[in-house]
Amino acid sequence: MPRPLVAITDISAMRFNLALARTMMPGARVWAVVKADAYGHGLGNAFKAFEHADGLSLVELNRAIMLRELGWQKPLMMMEGMFSFDEVDTFQRYQLQPVIHNQVQLDMLQHASGAPLHVHLKVNSGMNRLGFAPAEVQQANQRLQAMPVVSGISLLTHFANAENPSASLTPQRQLQRFTDCTEGITAELSLSNSAAVLLQSQIKCDWIRPGVMLYGGTPGAATAQSFGLKPAMTLQSELISVQQLQPGDSVGYGSVFTADKAMRIGIVACGYADGYPRHALTGTPILVNGVRTRVLGRVSMDMLSVDLSEVFDAEIGSKVILWGDGLPIDEVAAAAGTIGYELMCAVAPRVRRETRED
Ligand SMILES: Cc1ncc(COP(=O)(O)O)c(C=O)c1O
């Protein structure tokens, strides 16, 4: 009998969420974002679930090669492009489409020969992370146009605040900058991340780039459930011990929780070495036998404690849902001061994996 902790990826939910993204942006093609091992859901699972996506988008070269070896024949976009000249050859061999976001990458392509590549010219419209400044865009485009190794150019930019209507850098401001500096360039546009797909349907583009929504997480603003998204990951375990506390007894390292009444607590086989956030405080929601209760005290490396005061039938072996079915990952994340994205991506390699598909 293995340790009871398991992360279950629901391939049907991922498929469903992709279909939902399409209905929200009719006519747009979809780059399904699968970086970081498909946000922790397993690249092989994403390969199956997103077979109807128009392209997959990621940053890791070895994972792009893996997708080709699995049989993915549609476009692959490399969102950070090449990191060195040596990689150009691999991009050509596997027909990977680099995002070109700086002058160094332009120089790499300038010196390349061989099989032509489709490239994505990234515009920094205000995010100030990757991309050419508006004043550089026309020249970068002209350079790319003149390169024999470039067979086609698309344009992209990334929104900083599509989920936050009160931000001063709105998607509309970014879009205006983008439109102004790309004037006269005829190219396909890739703009919307999950937040823009879900909340900025007035933004039209040829390609959308949803990530977190495909996995049933919210980019913010409202719950994933309210958008009709289905959770694609359930982190599940069991109680491996039950303790009876008396008033004044404390729980775990640092004794940060002290009982003020007699109560039963359960010990769950899941800790921070599994990717559960150590900064989850007393009160973080968790399900035991389907009953919503709370984490108590400090999360330790392999275990955490839960309140069983209201879970009368709980015993060793009772099922625990840390997030997923019946408990949105974003609620757990919020209680731990983070976002669902981080929790999905952080499930540790030692956690057993299963998939579900109906
Ligand atoms: C350039 C780019 N496009 C799209 C995405 C997908 O974003 P989200 O997961 O919020 O949909 C990301 C995520 O980091 C990104 O960096």
Q: Would you place residue 44 in the very low, low, confident or very high pLDDT band (cuts 50, 70, 90)?
A: very high
Task: Provide the terminal-to-terminal Cα distance of the chain, rounded to the nearest Å.
Answer: 26
Instruction: At 302, list the tokens.
Output: 């392999």
Q: Would you place residue 358 in the very low, low, confident or very high pLDDT band (cuts 50, 70, 90)?
A: confident
What sections of the chain are H helices per DSSP?
11-24, 35-40, 43-49, 61-70, 88-93, 103-110, 134-145, 171-181, 194-199, 329-335, 340-345
CATH 3.20.20.10 in the chain is located at 11-217
Question: 1 pLDDT exceeds 90?
Answer: no
Distance 343 CA to ligand 1 centre (A): 16
Q: Which atom of ligand 1 is nearest to the CA of 194?
A: 11
Q: Judging by DSSP bridges, how do beta strands 189-190 and 291-296 pair with one another?
A: unpaired
Q: Is 30 in the pocket of ligand 1 (CB under 6 A)?
A: no
Distance 32 CA to ligand 1 centre (A): 10
For a pLDDT cut of 90, what percent of the chain falls above it?
98
- Other C-beta atoms lying within 10 Å of the C-beta of residue 89: 13
Q: Which DSSP state fits 280?
A: P
The number of CA neighbours under 13 Å toward the Cβ of 349 is 1
Q: Is 193 in the pocket of ligand 1 (CB under 6 A)?
A: yes
Mean pLDDT over 286-314 rounds to: 98
Distance 280 CA to ligand 1 centre (A): 25
For residue 150, which of 123, 104, 115 has the smallest C-alpha distance?
115
For a pLDDT cut of 70, what percent of the chain falls above it?
100
Q: Which atom of ligand 1 is nearest to the CA of 197?
A: 11
Span 163-175, pLDDT tens digits: 998 899 999 999 9
Q: Which protein residue's CA is at the shortest distance from atom 9 of ligand 1? A: 211
Residue 279 has what pLDDT? 94
- The third-level CATH classification (topology) of the domain covering 11-217 is TIM Barrel (3.20.20)
Distance 209 CA to ligand 1 centre (A): 7
Query: CA 152, CA 185: separation in Å to the nearest integer?
Result: 12
CATH 2.40.37.10 in the chain is located at 233-356
Q: Which protein residue's CA is at the shortest distance from atom 6 of ligand 1? A: 211
Span 75-106, pLDDT tens digits: 999 999 999 999 999 999 999 999 999 999 99
Query: CA 29, CA 207: separation in Å to the nearest integer?
Result: 5
Mean pLDDT of the chain: 97
253 is catalytic: yes
Residue 165 has what pLDDT? 80
The catalytic residue among 204, 253, 261, 319 is 253
Residue 221 has what pLDDT? 82
Note whether 25 and 192 are within 8 A (CB).
yes
Question: 63 pLDDT exceeds 90?
Answer: yes
Q: Is 208 in the pocket of ligand 1 (CB under 6 A)?
A: no
Span 198-245, pLDDT tens digits: 999 999 999 999 999 999 999 998 999 999 999 999 999 999 999 999
Span 185-199, pLDDT tens digits: 999 999 999 999 999
Mean pLDDT over 343-355 rounds to: 98
Residue 253 has what pLDDT? 96
This prediction has a pTM of 0.97
Mean pLDDT over 18-39 rounds to: 97
Note whether 57 and 99 are within 8 A (CB).
no
For the domain bounded by 233-356, which CATH number is listed? 2.40.37.10
